[in-house]
């Protein structure tokens, strides 16, 4: 009787704590997002920080604070290198797109459109694809590039301010987490009963190891996809191969759907870059080669890289990941798909620890359920 009442109260406390935590996350969503970013930087940068902390200078170890600072400096150097390398390419591509007129696109694809209209006319379907496409392209291009310069500048400045705020907050938190690896655990120990401290310590360590393996494997996968895409596209003579390769690597973070989006955008970039060339003799052959090259990259990714990440690091079946990704897409769109796998990893570990706890609970309370003499 006492055990049943104890378990009921425990369930009530768990529900109350989860509900309170969900409310705080909803109310302080921005701060919670900065906290998550700081944890991700901490998890990814911890191996480097640990390696630096083991270095000895004049028979003394490098101070933990210094190794944490160097780790964040490396993090910012990588960000600045990315900006210096890819932002000019992105600006160049935007300038090319902004100079394109609907007539330029129609001129490049007039022959295949004409052939398509003839084929449809032979089966009794009379359509004017060129006219409809001209109106559609004019509408799309006007929406993209006809906004006022002042509003565009204000929008960019406001986003830069938000990004800098997020980077500063995440770096500030990550520095202290890197400096003191036990900081988060000690903070949680202050609000957790002593009987749960051992279980909480095991849970946090399990989470750290699994997420660290996942994020490091994800960085390796993204780097490999980017490198292979740039290599293959450069070999077949695609301009802006570096930009397209980076885009393929970044969109590959979106499971299943990301590669499809990257392939479509890659073909459009190739079309826009060579808009004044002949479609049948130059554009289409180059697009076909690029499509085959990107398809080969995806085959390598699916056959070699993804099994390492999903099977060895996450220990999850691909079908399991696919269902979770679809559910996340339904809830939060593309950002949900990106965050689905790490969030699912955390949820799996939490459920596993709760099940293990509840399996041990009856044995601990069995004496209280014994009949009175």
* pLDDT mean across residues, the chain: 77
How far from the centroid of its chain's Cα atoms is residue 329's Cα? 13
Is residue 373's pLDDT more than 50?
A: no
pLDDT digit string, tens, across residues 237-259: 888 888 899 889 888 888 778 88
pLDDT digit string, tens, across residues 314-353: 666 767 777 887 887 777 777 777 777 777 877 777 777 6
Asked if residue 280 is part of any domain, the answer here is yes
Query: Which of 18, 3, 2 is closest to 361 using CA atoms?
Result: 3
Asked if residue 36 is part of any domain, the answer here is no
Is residue 156 very low, low, confident or very high in pLDDT (cuts 50, 70, 90)?
A: low
Q: Residue 358 is part of which domain span?
A: 193-365
Asked if residue 140 is part of any domain, the answer here is no
Is residue 371 very low, low, confident or very high in pLDDT (cuts 50, 70, 90)?
A: very low
pTM, whole model, 2 decimals?
0.72
The number of beta carbons lying within 10 Å of the beta carbon of residue 15 is 10
Left if phi > 0, otherwise alpha if psi is -120 to 50, otherwise beta: which for 237? left
Asked if residue 103 is part of any domain, the answer here is no
Is residue 149's pLDDT more than 50?
A: no
Asked if residue 111 is part of any domain, the answer here is no
Burial class (CB in 10 A: 0-12, 13-18, 19+), 118: exposed
- CA–CA distance, 48 with 43 (Å, rounded to integer): 10
Secondary structure class of 61 (helix, strand, coil): strand
Is residue 181 within 8 Å of 46, Cβ to Cβ? yes
- CA–CA distance, 195 with 123 (Å, rounded to integer): 78
Asked if residue 290 is part of any domain, the answer here is yes
Asked if residue 20 is part of any domain, the answer here is no
**CA angle (236, 260, 306) in 5-degree steps:** 90
Number of structural domains in the chain:
1
Asked if residue 370 is part of any domain, the answer here is no
User: Which one is predicted more confidently, 198 or 332?
Assistant: 198
């Amino acid at each position: 009787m006492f055990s049943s009442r104890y378990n009921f109260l425990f369930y009530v406390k768990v529900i109350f704590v989860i509900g309170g935590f969900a409310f705080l996350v909803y109310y302080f969503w921005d701060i919670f997002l900065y906290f998550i970013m700081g944890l991700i930087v901490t998890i990814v940068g911890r191996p480097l920080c640990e390696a630096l902390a083991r270095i000895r200078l004049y028979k003394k170890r490098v101070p933990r604070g210094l190794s944490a600072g160097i780790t964040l400096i490396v993090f910012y150097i990588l960000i600045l290198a990315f900006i210096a390398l890819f932002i000019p390419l992105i600006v160049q591509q935007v300038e090319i797109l902004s100079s394109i007129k609907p007539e330029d696109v129609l001129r490049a694809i007039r022959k295949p459109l004409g052939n398509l209209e003839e084929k449809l006319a032979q089966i009794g379907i009379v359509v004017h694809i060129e006219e409809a496409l001209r109106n559609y392209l004019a509408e799309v291009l006007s929406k993209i590039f006809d906004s006022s310069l002042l509003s565009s500048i204000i929008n960019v400045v406001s986003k830069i301010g938000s990004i800098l705020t997020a980077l500063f907050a995440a770096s500030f938190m990550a520095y202290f987490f890197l400096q003191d690896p036990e900081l988060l655990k000690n903070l949680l120990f202050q609000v957790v009963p002593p009987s749960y401290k051992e279980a909480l310590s095991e849970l946090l360590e399990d989470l750290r190891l699994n997420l660290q393996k996942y994020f490091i494997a994800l960085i390796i996968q993204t780097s490999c996809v980017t490198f292979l895409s740039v290599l293959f596209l450069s070999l077949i003579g695609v301009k802006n191969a570096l930009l397209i390769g980076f885009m393929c690597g970044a969109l590959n973070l979106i499971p299943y759907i990301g590669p499809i989006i990257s392939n479509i955008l890659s073909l459009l970039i190739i079309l826009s870059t060579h808009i004044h060339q002949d479609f049948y003799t130059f554009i289409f052959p180059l697009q076909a080669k690029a499509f085959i090259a990107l398809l080969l990259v995806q085959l390598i990714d699916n056959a070699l890289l993804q099994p390492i990440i999903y099977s060895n690091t996450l220990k999850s079946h691909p079908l399991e990941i696919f269902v979770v990704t679809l559910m996340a897409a339904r809830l939060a769109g593309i950002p949900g798909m990106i965050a689905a796998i790490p969030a699912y990893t955390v949820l799996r570990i939490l459920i596993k620890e709760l099940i293990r706890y509840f399996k041990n609970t009856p044995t601990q309370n069995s004496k209280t359920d014994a009949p009175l003499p």
